[in-house]
Amino acid sequence: MINSPIIYSGAMVRALLDGRKTMTRRLRWKLVKRGPHPDGAICFTNWNYVRPGDRLWVRENWRAEARYDKLKPREIPAGSLISYEADYDQEPNDGCRGKLRPAIFLPRWASRMTLTVTAAKVEHLPDISEEDAIAEGFTAGKLDDGFGPRDIGDGWTIESPGGWASAAGHFQKLWCELHGFDSWDQNPEVVALSFTVHKSNIDQLSEVA
């Protein structure tokens, strides 16, 4: 069984907490520039090996108390007071007024959510269905992304700028913001993972189980 970290933006953390997100897509391939391939070799990402039953612990942007600002994340004592950026519109009010730290440095002990994978499939990114886009945490609505009208696959079209877009259209907008505005047209293969959300640290979840 794989127990791996997974990084989410604040918007997607809120979708997980609200119960609106039960699916995620991650790139199946990556370019690796090391070893015998100095110009780069295309390799599977770790997401290619995730299977039902595996668990993913969520990493998100966070803060500790200001007295720990000079410490590296791994040096902050386990069990210390932590706040999460996704919970606040402005500054936190719970005593965690330390510097904002990137999600990638969130220690395992400070993670507050665990995802248990229930299904995994491989597909090309633009083949996302409207049903899957809703499971990704998106809804149909007005969108002004600057792309103009375009077919996004599976019969779904973005009517923009300033028009109505499907849930899949809103998913496309966020994907391009995160991965580059040409990333959609590159038609990459992705691993689509469905999961159950547990609002618990992965190690605490193990103790309960």
Burial class (CB within 10 angstroms; exposed 0-12, middle 13-18, buried 19+) of 89: exposed
Convert the pLDDT of each residue in 83-105 to its tens digit: 999 998 766 666 788 999 999 99
User: Looking at residue 134, what is its pLDDT?
Assistant: 95
Inside any domain, residue 88: no
- Number of domains the chain is built from: 1
Q: Give, as one character, the DSSP assignment of residue 101.
A: B
Inside any domain, residue 43: yes
**132 three-state secondary structure:** helix
Cα separation, 196 vs 135, in Å, equals 11
Reported pTM: 0.85
Residue 21, both tokens: 């997100």
Residue 42 neighbours by CB under 8 Å, 6+ apart: 29, 30, 31, 32
Q: For 162, left (φ over 0), alpha (ψ -120 to 50), or beta?
A: left
Contact 106, 62 (CB under 8 A): yes
Share of the chain above pLDDT 70, in %: 81
Inside any domain, residue 50: yes
Inside any domain, residue 93: no
Least confident piece of the model among 13-27, 48-62, 77-91: 77-91
With bands split at pLDDT 50, 70 and 90, how would you rate the model's confidence at 185?
A: confident
Inside any domain, residue 82: no
Inside any domain, residue 75: no
